[in-house]
Amino acid sequence: MTIYASPSPGPSRVPISDIASKLDKNWIPDLDADTLVVADAGDHFTATEVEGVLQEVGDAIPTKLSIALAPGAQTVDSVLISAVGDVEWAVNLSKSGERYSTTIRANHNGTTPFHTQNNVTLTDGTIDVSLDVDISAGALRLRATASSSGWAAHIRRMTADA
């Protein structure tokens, strides 16, 4: 994707990357969202202005979460099923020297969640945490059940539109 510094087509369009390389990258004079245009996005976006493209890709930007797990079952992340068709969580659980890393992919039919867990990597030691996916109150939830305290969950979420 290329962002241009002029909404008019033709030779007056200059890629922002060309301008930024010659200036302080945190400041480009006389430019705001109304004077930028998106082109050459490989037909991935319907919008042609920066704000519209950012709105379209907003849900695809990974979300990072970190949370301490208490013993018992708890929701570690959730996303509304009306907004998301598919979700992928990269999960890293750690406690002292023990680590549990995995990827969970889930989708739903509006009432029932479907998920798989792949790329599981475990260290030696006692891994007394399990992961599951359910739907409750209109949300697809990633749930963790820990048998002991001291676990930390680090999660990165990617979603796709419903």
pLDDT at 95: 94
**Residue with more model confidence, 3 or 49:** 49
In terms of phi and psi (left: phi > 0; alpha: psi -120 to 50; beta: otherwise), the region of 110 is left
| Beta strand pairing call for 63-69 and 113-122 | unpaired
Give 42-101 pLDDT, tens digit per residue.
555 555 555 565 555 554 555 778 999 999 999 999 988 988 889 999 999 999 989 999
pLDDT at 99: 93
Structure tokens at 85: 């068709």
Least confident of 25-29, 110-114, 115-119: 25-29
pLDDT at 110 over 70: yes
Q: Which of 14, 49, 150, 155 is nearest to 92 (CA)?
A: 155
CA dihedral 21, 27, 29, 34 (to 10 degrees): 100
DSSP category for residue 70: P
This prediction has a pTM of: 0.63
Q: What are the phi and psi torsion angles at 114 (to 5°)? A: -130, 130
**Residue with more model confidence, 151 or 17:** 151
Give 25-49 pLDDT, tens digit per residue.
444 445 444 555 555 455 555 555 5
**What is the average per-residue pLDDT within 148-152?**
94
Instruction: Quote the CA–CA distance of 86 and 83 in Å, as a whole number.
Output: 10
Q: What are the sequence ranges of the domains in the chain?
A: 2-59, 62-161
- Fold (topology level) of 62-161: Immunoglobulin-like (2.60.40)
Per-residue buried b or exposed e for 7-43, using 16+ beta carbons within 10 Å of the residue's own CB: eeeeeeeeebeeeeeeeeeeebeeeeeeebbbeebee
